[in-house]
Structure 1
């Protein structure tokens, strides 16, 4: 009997020890999962570059880190975003403001149609911010200008691409395969192209803008997104929810995004302005880079700073 009691006691001790070990393991696992979730939501997240739209700065196969503390992390109803239901995006405190030249990760604002702003949690673009709220942006024969002055935030390799674009459409071929001439808002009344564009005023939060015919064409999708109502043009002016709209008070900051590869980038030249709440973070480092054909690591690009 003593042997059986001892055996039973040992078994109970073993079970208790196993349960304590399991409890600790689960606790550590939960802390690790919680830390990982906290990191990707509030601090840093990784994104893959699938296309050549940001060459020569970023290449297909690059994996980049986005700093979410720069503007501040976003908090929103994930389930509502997945189901494409209305939801609000809130932003926690950020340590800086976006600057011209910053390479930015954001949700593409037109995942379903170019006629209205939408949100797809899985649809991310990476572009360089070239126009800030309150700026007046234009493109003169392929060269970007802000408030009437040349934009100087591009690396030299990107400037060479702008020179090439200028040459192609001014002294060389007027059309080349793969390049669309017509630009946002793709209306004959405005007639902007990818090489002669603007001036396009970029609204900032609190701005009042009179709703002329041109402003109706330029800002209709923004106003409809902010109000959730349809903006229609009649002979005597614009009407929002059947009420005449003479001026509009913007509720959000907006930005103009451009791809470094001006020959092959679907950017703000084609689809318009980006709401600030769609910005996920600023690209800071290439933490991994693989050759997309061979799978080999591009070691010379690993941990390269993004500028």
Structure 2
């Protein structure tokens, strides 16, 4: 349903702009070409065309886009508050309506003095910018908070499903938008003030967790954005909705039993999700000449810098099996080995939650079985279950919990069981050896869920050449 609504939103808005551009004496197709459309819009409203450069700058791009867009509808005589609000919230309805209305005409460049004198009362430049900034801030905050938000992939934990430099749209509507829990915050800053640093929010007002109805239930194997649970701890101690945003694949639903054997994921005893381009680490030893770094760059392979030392001929690379076969053909290779941890391997950097101290050793390639908590589920408390669920009981559900000589005490009362108040999820990256995920911190509570990743609207290859910086084949690519 959400994809249908999104398609209506995009197509309807584009159709409306198509009609308005034609009324303004431009070609209709110029309205539907990304970036170029805003270039033409700047011409129509009298803003410098170089302003489109600002569209690539986060936060600034919001103000630039809405300045251009709202001035465009002013150029057609639409300047009332409700008309501005409708153009922002339901453009797929009002833009086609205005485009087909013969009484709506292009009146000229709305930023010119002649236009202002003829059609509007006189406002100072400062007042115009103040009005535009206030409206853009309110509109963008509502859209970002309750409808849809842009997100950029900063790490390779979801390679190759998602690439570093992919820009996504994340829907808040699919699972239902959360009511802001920390509503007093600086606009567009997540948790830290830009430039100056420091908190970008105040905890003077706190709102209990509440989620509005959504279009769908969260499903196993969805790609989900959520708040990083470990930022509940020092030194951050951040409120839930101000914790860092992470993106992973949800592989374990509430009540599921999760385990992993030599990199193979199992959910309720059945094989779990495996990406078509599944990656693991490979250890490569070479002679002093090393590997062909340009070849690795052309293949877009990511080196694990913690263990790579070209001076000694040692490389650790995240690769698919097909890429590994290609690299294996290079010269100078003395040793080529896929790194897979065996059960009981105790490499501390790949130790897995809950880090048992009683002799049980779990690592990133071998762990479990472990049951994901479900709302209303009662777990018996003992030496094996307490390490798994203590954090959820204390940190996420707000109880006091301690072990004494005669047993366990919950909120001061002795008990041998606990019933969970929330649903929890198990999140993992598709790049299993290069992902900080539930294997490192455990469960993700339901109140940490932000939204569902929908599609890639831009993909920027930092290592690409001037002409290949944009990965055109990934634009508007759905996320599965």
| Bucket of the pairwise TM-score, normalised by the shorter protein | 0.7 to 0.9
Matches of 1:170 and 1:73, distance apart in 2: 40
Q: How many residues align?
A: 288
Asked whether the equivalents of residues 287 and 304 of structure 1 are also in contact (C-alpha less than 8 Å), the reply is yes
* 2:383 aligns with one of 213, 225, 233: 213
Asked whether the equivalents of residues 49 and 59 of structure 1 are also in contact (C-alpha less than 8 Å), the reply is yes
Structure 2 gaps of 5+ residues are 1-116, 186-190, 192-200, 281-318, 325-336
Matches of 1:257 and 1:200, distance apart in 2: 13
TM-score (norm 1): 0.81
Asked whether the equivalents of residues 110 and 117 of structure 1 are also in contact (C-alpha less than 8 Å), the reply is no
Aligned position for 1:260: 430
Change (3 A) 1:67 1:193: same
* 1:201 aligns with one of 371, 389, 412: 371
Q: CA deviation at 1:234?
A: 2.4
Asked whether the equivalents of residues 112 and 118 of structure 1 are also in contact (C-alpha less than 8 Å), the reply is yes
Change (3 A) 1:193 1:114: farther
Matches of 1:234 and 1:139, distance apart in 2: 33
Change (3 A) 1:78 1:25: closer
By percentage of residues, which structure has more helix? 2
Change (3 A) 1:17 1:147: closer
Q: CA deviation at 1:49?
A: 0.8
Asked whether the equivalents of residues 111 and 120 of structure 1 are also in contact (C-alpha less than 8 Å), the reply is no
| Correspondence 1:234 to 2:394 | no
Aligned position for 1:97: 217
Structure 1 gaps of 5+ residues are 1-13
Matches of 2:238 and 2:268, distance apart in 1: 26
Matches of 1:55 and 1:104, distance apart in 2: 15
* Cα displacement string for residues 179-210 of structure 1 (whole angstroms, at most 9, x for unaligned residues): 93310011132422212211111111111111
Change (3 A) 1:60 1:226: closer
Change (3 A) 1:83 1:217: farther
| Correspondence 1:182 to 2:351 | yes
Change (3 A) 1:91 1:162: farther
- Higher relative contact order structure (alpha carbons within 8 Å, sequence separation ≥ 6): 1
* 2:182 aligns with one of 52, 74, 77: 77
Change (3 A) 1:89 1:208: same
* 2:166 aligns with one of 62, 78, 88: 62
Change (3 A) 1:227 1:304: closer
Change (3 A) 1:268 1:117: farther
Q: CA deviation at 1:155?
A: 2.7
* 1:51 aligns with one of 131, 151, 155: 155
Matches of 2:459 and 2:385, distance apart in 1: 43
Aligned position for 1:5: none
| Correspondence 1:154 to 2:154 | no
Change (3 A) 1:33 1:170: closer
Matches of 2:400 and 2:450, distance apart in 1: 28
